[in-house]
Amino acid sequence: MRLTRSLLCSLFTVALVPAAILSLAPAGAAAPLPDGNGVEVVAHRGASADAPENTLAAVEEAIAQDADSIEVDVQRTADGHLVLLHDVTLTRTTDVERVFPDRALDPVGEFTLDELKRLDAGSWFGPEFAGEPIPTFDELLERTGDRAALLIELKEPARYPGIGSEVAAAIGDPRPGVVVQSFDHDVMTAFAAVAPDVPAGWLFGTRPTTAELDAAAEHADQVNPSFRVVDEALLAAVAERGMQTGVYTVNDEADMRRMIDTGVHRIITDRPGVLRKVLAG
C-alpha cells in the first residue's frame, strides 16, 4: 500500500476516532484498528431501509441519521453520464415497464440520461417518494459536498470501459473519506494506476484468500467483504498488509455488535441510525 493512499484513507478516520488510539500507518505497516466508537457508519445505497436506494432522498435520510459516509452504485448512460443505480436493469426500482414497455429489460447503459430522468425511482418504495428521480453522480457530489463522505462502488464496470477514470475526474481533488470500490479487481487494479491518489477498496463476496489479500495490498486501502465471512483472523491478515476492513451489509443489531467487537473499521448498513445508536451503547 502506498503512503498517499494510507494517508488519504486515514484522514477521515482520524476525524472519527480519538487521537489517542490512532497513529497514521506508514506504508506496509498494520492499519490502526479503531475502538467500537470509532467505527465508521456507512449508509448502504443511502439510508435504504427508510428511503428508495441510490436516490437523493436516501442520501438526505442518511445524513439525517448521522451517517459518516454514503455508499452508492455508479453506472453510465448510453450518452456518457454517470448515474446512481444498483441493478443492471431498471425494473425493480423504477416504473420503466410503464414508461418504456418495449425496453423494460434493457440494461441501464442503453438508456440516455434524458430517458432515465423520465422514470420514477421512488414510487416502488412508497407513495411519499413518488417522482423521486435517478440522480447523476454530479448531482450526488453537489448535494453531499462536505456533509458526508462517499463510498463509491463501480457497479459491473466491465460494461463501462473507462468508468473508473470518469469517476476519478468527476471527484476532482481527492476528498478525505471519499473511496472508490468494486468487486471487479481487474478494474480496480487499472483504477489504482489512473487514480493513484483516490483511496480504493476491493469488495469480496466470499472470504478472500491469502493470494487475493496480497494482490489487494498492492492496489488498495480497504478490503470490504460480506460480514458473513469476517472474523478476527481475517481482520488481522488485512491489517498486517496495511489495509482496513469494511463489512457489508449489516442490518441486524446483534450482527452490528459482533462486527464492532471484531474490530472492523467501517460497517455498511441500510440502517445507519440504528448502527449509530448501537455504537452509542
Q: Which is nearer to Ca ion, 57 or 74 (CB)?
A: 74
Which is catalytic among the residues 86, 185, 219, 265? 86
Partner in contact with 203, chosen from Ca ion, ligand G3P, none, beta carbon below 5 to 8 Å by kind = ligand G3P
Alpha carbon distance 281, 277 (integer Å): 6
Ramachandran region, residue 47 (left: φ > 0; alpha: ψ -120 to 50; beta: rest): beta
Alpha carbon distance 219, 206 (integer Å): 19
Q: Which of 61, 68, 73, 95 binds ligand G3P (CB under 6 A)?
A: 73
Q: Which is nearer to ligand G3P, 44 or 185 (CB)?
A: 44
Contact 58/121 with Cβ under 8 angstroms? no
Contact 104/88 with Cβ under 8 angstroms? no
Which is catalytic among the residues 44, 185, 219, 265? 44
Q: How far is CA 183 from the centre of its chain?
A: 11
Partner in contact with 268, chosen from Ca ion, ligand G3P, none, beta carbon below 5 to 8 Å by kind = ligand G3P
The set of cell numbers assigned to 110 is: 442503453
Q: Which of 5, 9, 32, 44 binds ligand G3P (CB under 6 A)?
A: 44
Neighbouring C-beta atoms of residue 5, cutoff 10 Å:
24
What does the binding site for Ca ion look like in residue numbers (CB under 5 A)?
73, 153
Q: How far is the CB of 281 from ligand G3P (least distance, A)?
A: 26
Q: Which is nearer to Ca ion, 239 or 268 (CB)?
A: 268
Active site residues: 44, 86
